[in-house]
């Protein structure tokens, strides 16, 4: 069982940066692949990035590639998402998720979810 808590969301102007963090409980964290997803009002949950258990493999959505960077610290049970050059279309609730297995883009294949953190980018 893994419990996830996101933090770091907020309001930022276009072109600015935010750093999201996801804190996980449970000793099994280091064995889970992690993902970040986002959901804007009226839209389906969207894949952002996934990172494997040791951080050696990552997969980014094309829409964030080159702007967002994911990292994890298994000693601290945390996953971070550094978001640079933010755009208004990045506005959404951002969720971190965990799954047993390799990196994955399909949210239905993740077992555990955080409550989400709001990111708002003003133009």
pLDDT digits (tens, 9 = 90+) for 106-117: 999 999 999 999
| Euclidean distance between CA atoms 38 and 76, whole angstroms | 24
Q: Is 97 exposed, middle or buried (0-12, 13-18, 19+ CB in 10 A)?
A: buried
pLDDT of residue 55: 94
pLDDT of residue 48: 98
Name the residue among 45, 51, 65 with its Cα closest to residue 102: 51
pLDDT of residue 28: 84
Q: Which two tokens stand for residue 53?
A: 């258990």
Torsion, Cα of 28, 33, 38, 39 (10° steps):
-70
pLDDT of residue 61: 98
Residues in the chain predicted with pLDDT less than 50, given as ranges, are none
């Amino acid at each position: 069982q893994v419990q996830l808590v996101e933090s770091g969301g907020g309001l930022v102007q276009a072109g600015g940066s935010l750093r999201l963090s996801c804190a996980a409980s449970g000793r099994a964290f280091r064995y889970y692949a992690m993902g970040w997803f986002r959901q804007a009002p009226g839209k389906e949950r969207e894949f952002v990035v996934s990172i494997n258990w040791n951080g050696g493999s990552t997969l980014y959505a094309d829409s964030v590639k080159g702007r967002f960077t994911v990292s994890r610290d298994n000693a601290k049970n945390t996953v971070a998402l550094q978001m640079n050059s933010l755009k208004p279309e990045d506005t959404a609730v951002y969720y971190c998720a965990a799954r047993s297995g390799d990196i994955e883009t399909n949210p239905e294949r993740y077992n555990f979810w955080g409550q989400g953190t709001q990111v708002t980018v003003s133009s």
